[in-house]
Structure 1
Amino acid sequence: MKKVDFINYPKCTTCIKARKWLESNNVNFEARDIVLNNPTEEEIKDYLKRSGKELKKFFNTSGILYREMNLKEKLTTMSEAEMIKLLASNGKLVKRPLIVADKNVLIGFKEEEWAKFFKVGDEK
Protein backbone atom coordinates (compact mmCIF):
# COMPACT_ATOMS: atom_id res chain seq x y z
CA MET A 1 0.00 0.00 0.00
CA LYS A 2 1.24 3.43 -0.91
CA LYS A 3 0.76 6.52 1.20
CA VAL A 4 -2.09 6.51 3.71
CA ASP A 5 -3.60 9.83 4.75
CA PHE A 6 -5.18 9.86 8.20
CA ILE A 7 -7.47 12.89 8.28
CA ASN A 8 -8.52 13.49 11.85
CA TYR A 9 -9.26 15.95 14.63
CA PRO A 10 -6.53 15.40 17.26
CA LYS A 11 -8.87 16.19 20.19
CA CYS A 12 -11.53 13.70 19.05
CA THR A 13 -11.55 10.55 21.23
CA THR A 14 -12.48 8.32 18.28
CA CYS A 15 -9.60 9.78 16.27
CA ILE A 16 -7.20 9.17 19.16
CA LYS A 17 -8.37 5.55 19.33
CA ALA A 18 -8.00 5.21 15.55
CA ARG A 19 -4.47 6.66 15.63
CA LYS A 20 -3.47 4.18 18.34
CA TRP A 21 -4.95 1.36 16.24
CA LEU A 22 -2.93 2.46 13.19
CA GLU A 23 0.26 2.67 15.26
CA SER A 24 -0.27 -0.69 17.00
CA ASN A 25 -0.88 -2.33 13.62
CA ASN A 26 2.23 -0.75 12.09
CA VAL A 27 0.32 1.18 9.43
CA ASN A 28 2.49 3.91 7.96
CA PHE A 29 0.37 7.05 7.72
CA GLU A 30 0.53 10.80 7.40
CA ALA A 31 -1.76 12.66 9.81
CA ARG A 32 -3.70 15.74 8.79
CA ASP A 33 -5.71 17.93 11.16
CA ILE A 34 -9.16 18.28 9.60
CA VAL A 35 -9.79 21.61 11.35
CA LEU A 36 -6.51 23.28 10.39
CA ASN A 37 -6.48 21.78 6.89
CA ASN A 38 -10.02 20.80 6.01
CA PRO A 39 -10.75 18.95 2.76
CA THR A 40 -11.38 21.10 -0.30
CA GLU A 41 -14.40 20.73 -2.58
CA GLU A 42 -12.25 18.85 -5.09
CA GLU A 43 -10.96 16.48 -2.41
CA ILE A 44 -14.48 15.80 -1.14
CA LYS A 45 -15.64 15.01 -4.69
CA ASP A 46 -12.69 12.63 -5.03
CA TYR A 47 -13.33 11.00 -1.63
CA LEU A 48 -17.00 10.57 -2.51
CA LYS A 49 -16.16 8.77 -5.74
CA ARG A 50 -13.49 6.60 -4.13
CA SER A 51 -15.57 5.66 -1.07
CA GLY A 52 -18.61 4.39 -2.94
CA LYS A 53 -20.74 5.85 -0.13
CA GLU A 54 -23.50 8.43 -0.30
CA LEU A 55 -22.49 12.04 0.39
CA LYS A 56 -24.55 12.26 3.60
CA LYS A 57 -22.19 9.68 5.16
CA PHE A 58 -19.46 12.35 5.13
CA PHE A 59 -21.31 14.56 7.60
CA ASN A 60 -20.39 14.47 11.29
CA THR A 61 -23.94 13.95 12.52
CA SER A 62 -22.87 13.82 16.16
CA GLY A 63 -21.09 17.17 15.99
CA ILE A 64 -22.31 20.30 17.76
CA LEU A 65 -22.07 22.36 14.56
CA TYR A 66 -24.22 19.84 12.67
CA ARG A 67 -26.95 20.17 15.30
CA GLU A 68 -26.62 23.96 15.63
CA MET A 69 -27.04 24.37 11.88
CA ASN A 70 -30.05 22.01 11.86
CA LEU A 71 -28.44 20.05 9.05
CA LYS A 72 -30.52 16.93 9.59
CA GLU A 73 -33.44 18.76 7.99
CA LYS A 74 -31.50 21.05 5.66
CA LEU A 75 -29.59 18.23 3.94
CA THR A 76 -32.83 16.77 2.61
CA THR A 77 -33.32 19.76 0.33
CA MET A 78 -29.70 20.57 -0.53
CA SER A 79 -28.09 19.68 -3.84
CA GLU A 80 -24.92 17.59 -3.97
CA ALA A 81 -22.94 20.71 -4.96
CA GLU A 82 -24.32 22.63 -1.95
CA MET A 83 -23.45 19.76 0.42
CA ILE A 84 -19.91 19.53 -0.95
CA LYS A 85 -19.44 23.29 -0.58
CA LEU A 86 -20.73 23.09 3.00
CA LEU A 87 -18.41 20.18 3.91
CA ALA A 88 -15.45 22.08 2.47
CA SER A 89 -16.33 25.18 4.52
CA ASN A 90 -15.57 23.65 7.94
CA GLY A 91 -13.64 20.51 8.87
CA LYS A 92 -15.81 19.98 11.96
CA LEU A 93 -18.75 19.19 9.68
CA VAL A 94 -16.86 16.22 8.19
CA LYS A 95 -17.16 12.78 9.79
CA ARG A 96 -13.80 11.65 11.03
CA PRO A 97 -11.41 10.08 10.94
CA LEU A 98 -10.98 9.57 7.22
CA ILE A 99 -8.52 7.13 5.74
CA VAL A 100 -7.51 8.01 2.20
CA ALA A 101 -5.42 5.29 0.59
CA ASP A 102 -4.94 3.94 -2.90
CA LYS A 103 -8.36 3.98 -4.52
CA ASN A 104 -10.33 3.81 -1.27
CA VAL A 105 -11.64 6.08 1.44
CA LEU A 106 -12.81 4.87 4.85
CA ILE A 107 -15.20 7.09 6.80
CA GLY A 108 -15.19 6.89 10.58
CA PHE A 109 -13.41 4.31 12.72
CA LYS A 110 -14.86 0.82 12.51
CA GLU A 111 -12.17 -1.55 13.73
CA GLU A 112 -13.41 -4.58 11.74
CA GLU A 113 -13.60 -2.57 8.53
CA TRP A 114 -10.13 -1.13 9.08
CA ALA A 115 -8.65 -4.57 9.90
CA LYS A 116 -10.08 -5.97 6.68
CA PHE A 117 -8.90 -2.96 4.67
CA PHE A 118 -5.36 -3.05 6.06
CA LYS A 119 -5.33 -6.87 6.11
CA VAL A 120 -4.39 -7.17 9.77
CA GLY A 121 -5.37 -9.89 12.18
CA ASP A 122 -6.00 -12.47 9.42
CA GLU A 123 -2.97 -14.54 10.30
CA LYS A 124 -4.40 -15.71 13.65
Structure 2
Amino acid sequence: MELTIYGYPKCSTSTDAQKWLRAHGHQTAMYDMFAEAPPKETLRELIGRSGLALRKFYNVNGDKYKELGLKDKLGAMSSEEQLDLLASDGRLIKRPIVTRSDGKGPVTVGFKPAEYETAWVGK
Protein backbone atom coordinates (compact mmCIF):
# COMPACT_ATOMS: atom_id res chain seq x y z
CA MET A 1 0.00 0.00 0.00
CA GLU A 2 1.28 3.46 -0.83
CA LEU A 3 1.38 6.20 1.77
CA THR A 4 1.30 9.92 1.11
CA ILE A 5 3.66 12.01 3.18
CA TYR A 6 2.69 15.66 3.37
CA GLY A 7 6.03 17.25 4.18
CA TYR A 8 9.00 19.12 2.84
CA PRO A 9 11.67 17.15 0.98
CA LYS A 10 14.49 19.16 2.62
CA CYS A 11 13.09 18.68 6.14
CA SER A 12 15.03 16.05 8.09
CA THR A 13 11.91 15.01 10.03
CA SER A 14 9.99 14.42 6.79
CA THR A 15 12.84 12.46 5.23
CA ASP A 16 13.42 10.46 8.44
CA ALA A 17 9.73 9.50 8.44
CA GLN A 18 9.94 8.50 4.78
CA LYS A 19 13.04 6.35 5.42
CA TRP A 20 11.36 4.71 8.42
CA LEU A 21 8.21 3.92 6.46
CA ARG A 22 10.16 2.50 3.52
CA ALA A 23 12.27 0.39 5.89
CA HIS A 24 8.99 -1.06 7.15
CA GLY A 25 7.83 -2.04 3.67
CA HIS A 26 5.74 0.92 2.59
CA GLN A 27 5.85 2.67 -0.74
CA THR A 28 5.68 6.42 -0.21
CA ALA A 29 5.03 9.57 -2.19
CA MET A 30 6.06 12.96 -0.84
CA TYR A 31 3.66 15.89 -1.27
CA ASP A 32 5.77 19.06 -1.01
CA MET A 33 3.75 21.37 1.25
CA PHE A 34 6.20 24.22 0.71
CA ALA A 35 5.63 24.17 -3.04
CA GLU A 36 1.85 24.10 -2.57
CA ALA A 37 -0.10 23.89 0.68
CA PRO A 38 -2.74 21.16 0.75
CA PRO A 39 -6.21 22.47 -0.13
CA LYS A 40 -8.54 23.39 2.70
CA GLU A 41 -10.85 20.44 2.07
CA THR A 42 -7.92 18.01 2.14
CA LEU A 43 -6.79 19.47 5.46
CA ARG A 44 -10.33 19.27 6.84
CA GLU A 45 -10.53 15.59 5.88
CA LEU A 46 -7.07 14.78 7.32
CA ILE A 47 -7.87 16.55 10.58
CA GLY A 48 -11.19 14.76 10.88
CA ARG A 49 -9.67 11.34 10.27
CA SER A 50 -6.77 11.98 12.65
CA GLY A 51 -8.95 12.50 15.71
CA LEU A 52 -6.62 15.35 16.71
CA ALA A 53 -7.50 18.93 17.48
CA LEU A 54 -6.97 21.37 14.61
CA ARG A 55 -4.27 23.15 16.66
CA LYS A 56 -2.12 19.98 16.51
CA PHE A 57 -1.70 20.60 12.78
CA TYR A 58 0.11 23.90 13.33
CA ASN A 59 3.91 23.95 13.24
CA VAL A 60 4.23 25.87 16.51
CA ASN A 61 8.04 25.80 16.30
CA GLY A 62 8.16 27.27 12.82
CA ASP A 63 9.35 30.76 11.95
CA LYS A 64 6.14 31.61 10.08
CA TYR A 65 3.98 30.67 13.10
CA LYS A 66 6.09 32.87 15.36
CA GLU A 67 6.33 35.70 12.83
CA LEU A 68 2.53 35.88 12.62
CA GLY A 69 2.14 35.75 16.42
CA LEU A 70 -0.28 32.84 16.13
CA LYS A 71 0.25 31.65 19.69
CA ASP A 72 -1.88 34.58 20.83
CA LYS A 73 -4.22 34.75 17.81
CA LEU A 74 -5.46 31.21 17.15
CA GLY A 75 -7.75 31.14 20.19
CA ALA A 76 -9.76 34.05 18.80
CA MET A 77 -10.10 32.52 15.34
CA SER A 78 -12.91 30.24 14.18
CA SER A 79 -12.11 26.76 12.88
CA GLU A 80 -12.80 27.94 9.34
CA GLU A 81 -10.39 30.86 9.74
CA GLN A 82 -7.74 28.50 11.12
CA LEU A 83 -8.24 26.11 8.20
CA ASP A 84 -8.03 28.99 5.72
CA LEU A 85 -4.76 30.06 7.31
CA LEU A 86 -3.29 26.52 7.22
CA ALA A 87 -4.26 26.16 3.56
CA SER A 88 -2.59 29.48 2.74
CA ASP A 89 0.97 28.43 3.59
CA GLY A 90 2.46 24.96 3.97
CA ARG A 91 5.11 26.36 6.32
CA LEU A 92 2.41 26.70 8.97
CA ILE A 93 1.60 22.99 8.91
CA LYS A 94 3.31 20.52 11.23
CA ARG A 95 5.14 17.92 9.25
CA PRO A 96 5.05 15.25 8.22
CA ILE A 97 1.43 14.24 7.92
CA VAL A 98 1.14 10.62 6.77
CA THR A 99 -1.93 8.89 5.39
CA ARG A 100 -2.80 6.12 3.01
CA SER A 101 -2.89 7.28 -0.59
CA ASP A 102 -6.37 5.80 -0.99
CA GLY A 103 -7.72 8.23 1.65
CA LYS A 104 -8.56 5.51 4.18
CA GLY A 105 -7.07 4.48 7.48
CA PRO A 106 -5.09 6.45 10.03
CA VAL A 107 -3.49 9.86 9.82
CA THR A 108 -0.35 10.64 11.81
CA VAL A 109 1.19 14.05 12.43
CA GLY A 110 4.86 14.49 13.19
CA PHE A 111 7.36 11.64 13.40
CA LYS A 112 7.39 9.49 16.50
CA PRO A 113 8.53 5.92 15.83
CA ALA A 114 6.31 4.50 18.60
CA GLU A 115 3.22 6.07 17.00
CA TYR A 116 4.33 4.85 13.58
CA GLU A 117 4.66 1.31 14.96
CA THR A 118 1.04 1.42 16.06
CA ALA A 119 -0.32 3.16 12.96
CA TRP A 120 1.76 1.76 10.12
CA VAL A 121 3.39 -1.58 10.97
CA GLY A 122 1.46 -4.54 9.63
CA LYS A 123 -1.05 -2.30 7.89
Computed over aligned residues only, the root mean square deviation of the Cα atoms, in angstroms, reads: 1.2
- Identify unmatched segments of 5+ residues in structure 2: none
How many aligned residue pairs are there?
119
The separation in 1 between residues aligned to 2:5 and 2:15, in whole angstroms, is 11
Corresponding residue for residue 39 of structure 2: 40
Corresponding residue for residue 15 of structure 2: 16
What is the deviation of 1:69? 0.3
The separation in 2 between residues aligned to 1:65 and 1:10, in whole angstroms, is 18
Q: Secondary structure of 2:27's match?
A: coil
% identity of equivalent residues: 36
What is the deviation of 1:66? 0.3
Corresponding residue for residue 98 of structure 1: 97
Corresponding residue for residue 89 of structure 1: 88
- Identify the range of structure 1 (41-50 vs 17-26) with the bigger mean alpha-carbon deviation: 17-26
TM-score by length of 1: 0.90
What is the deviation of 1:115? 1.2
TM-score by length of 2: 0.91
The separation in 2 between residues aligned to 1:117 and 1:104, in whole angstroms, is 6
The letter of the residue matching 1:10 is P
- Identify unmatched segments of 5+ residues in structure 1: none
Paired residues for 1:1-12 under 5 Å: 2-12=1-11
The letter of the residue matching 2:8 is Y
